[in-house]
């Protein structure tokens, strides 16, 4: 039986399906974790409407004592902030993470985290729709959820692939630059017909589980490295040189002209990947 706190959270989650499937799943898991850990901290019979700063401070202290990364703590705080704001308690959790005493995330490592698909790897995946989904990640830099939910016959606008149902509700256009991209889109359109790349008899979560199994078979870590590869290839195309993550010059080593092209390329790649901050794109490209 759900606690009073979790019952309240479940009601909010039921009526507010903001964000992607993955975001909603992470949000639910975080709130369930918060519920359990508050009880372990001695907070009993707490109702969601009564959550306050002292509860948030207790959780934050615990997570910091556990040595969790700043990124993990910020994600958990974002989910707590979301549910608090949904019930009208906007001031419970500060929007300024510095005020909460959470360190800034470390995004950039100048390590190459890219992955590449080849025919031998793809042959390990029996589902042709999944094969195309993985290739869309590599050739267009799509996120995991995007590459499966994509409706190719709707998204294909000729010279661009238009995405509107995206993380953060930020529509974007990705240029169709090569014959390989065009051939892949045409194949995807034939497979999907008027729908998405999820088989008509499956739900997204079922196709997601098949996707995860395929990643294991191909030796990919969630296939996010395919997005890294896309970003790095685009950087090479736009600047004529390798990015720092692939052994190219770091920004401090560049001439003023090179820094200008570096800045322009990063801005464009950030938009194509569906991000808003250059610092996140630096995870893909280095700095």
Whether the pLDDT of residue 57 is over 80: the answer is: yes
pLDDT digits (tens, 9 = 90+) for 242-254: 999 999 999 899 9
> In this predicted structure, which of 62-66, 96-100, 237-241 has the lowest mean pLDDT?
96-100
With the CA atoms of 167, 171, 175 and 180 taken in that order, what torsion angle do they form, in degrees rounded to the nearest 10?
50
Separation CA 34–CA 160 (nearest Å): 43
Separation CA 212–CA 204 (nearest Å): 12
What pLDDT, on the 0 to 100 scale, is given for residue 64? 82
* Average pLDDT of the segment spanning 196-212: 95
What pLDDT, on the 0 to 100 scale, is given for residue 98? 60
Residue with tokens 């720092």: 244
pTM for this structure? 0.69
φ, ψ at 69 (rounded to 5°): -70, 160
Whether the pLDDT of residue 112 is over 80: the answer is: no
What pLDDT, on the 0 to 100 scale, is given for residue 222? 66
Decide if 148 contacts 198 (C-beta within 8 A).
yes
* Average pLDDT of the segment spanning 204-222: 89
What pLDDT, on the 0 to 100 scale, is given for residue 105? 54
Higher pLDDT, 119 or 268: 268
* Average pLDDT of the segment spanning 4-13: 94
**E strand segments, 132-231:** 160-163, 172-175
φ, ψ at 204 (rounded to 5°): -55, -45
> In this predicted structure, which of 32-36, 65-69, 71-75 has the lowest mean pLDDT?
65-69
Q: List, as own/partner pairs, every contact residues 38-46 make where C-beta atoms lie below 8 angstroms and the sequence separation is at least 24, other chains included.
A: 38/5, 39/3, 45/3, 45/4, 46/3, 46/4, 46/5
What pLDDT, on the 0 to 100 scale, is given for residue 65? 78
Beta-bridge partner residues of 174: 161
* Residues in CB range of 231: below 8 A, 6 or more apart: 141, 243, 269, 273, 281, 284, 285
What pLDDT, on the 0 to 100 scale, is given for residue 108? 54
Whether the pLDDT of residue 220 is over 70: the answer is: yes
What pLDDT, on the 0 to 100 scale, is given for residue 170? 84
Name the superfamily (CATH) of residues 108-287.
Answer: Intergrase catalytic core (1.10.443.10)
What pLDDT, on the 0 to 100 scale, is given for residue 144? 92
What pLDDT, on the 0 to 100 scale, is given for residue 255? 95
Percent of the chain with pLDDT strictly greater than 90? 63
What pLDDT, on the 0 to 100 scale, is given for residue 100? 67
What pLDDT, on the 0 to 100 scale, is given for residue 99? 60
Separation CA 235–CA 268 (nearest Å): 9
| Cβ atoms < 10 Å from Cβ of 89 | 16
pLDDT digits (tens, 9 = 90+) for 117-127: 888 889 999 99
Whether the pLDDT of residue 106 is over 70: the answer is: no
Whether the pLDDT of residue 221 is over 80: the answer is: no
């Amino acid at each position: 039986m759900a606690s009073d706190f979790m019952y309240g959270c479940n009601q909010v989650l039921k009526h507010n399906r903001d964000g992607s499937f993955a975001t909603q799943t992470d949000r639910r898991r975080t709130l369930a974790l918060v519920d359990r850990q508050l009880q372990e901290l001695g907070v009993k019979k707490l109702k969601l409407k009564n959550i306050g700063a002292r509860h948030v401070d207790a959780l934050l202290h615990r997570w910091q004592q556990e040595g969790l990364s700043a990124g993990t703590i910020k994600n958990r705080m974002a989910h707590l902030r979301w549910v608090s704001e949904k019930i009208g308690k906007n001031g419970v959790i500060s929007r300024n993470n510095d005020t909460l005493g959470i360190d800034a995330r470390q995004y950039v490592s100048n390590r190459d985290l890219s992955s590449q698909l080849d025919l031998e790897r793809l042959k390990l995946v029996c589902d042709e729709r999944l094969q195309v989904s993985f290739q869309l990640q590599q050739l267009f830099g799509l996120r995991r959820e995007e590459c499966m939910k994509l409706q190719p016959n709707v998204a294909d606008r000729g010279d661009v692939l238009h995405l509107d149902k995206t993380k953060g509700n930020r529509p974007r256009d990705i240029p169709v630059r090569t014959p390989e991209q065009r051939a892949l889109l045409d194949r995807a359109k034939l497979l999907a017909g008027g729908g998405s790349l999820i088989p008509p008899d499956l739900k997204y979560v079922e196709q997601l589980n098949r996707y995860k199994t395929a990643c294991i078979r191909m030796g990919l870590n969630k296939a996010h490295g395919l997005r890294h590869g896309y970003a790095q290839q685009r950087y090479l195309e736009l600047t004529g040189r390798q990015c720092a993550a692939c052994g190219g010059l770091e920004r401090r080593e560049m001439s003023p002209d090179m820094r200008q092209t570096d800045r322009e390329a990063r801005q464009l790649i950030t938009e194509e990947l569906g991000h808003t901050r250059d610092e996140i794109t630096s995870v893909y490209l280095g700095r």
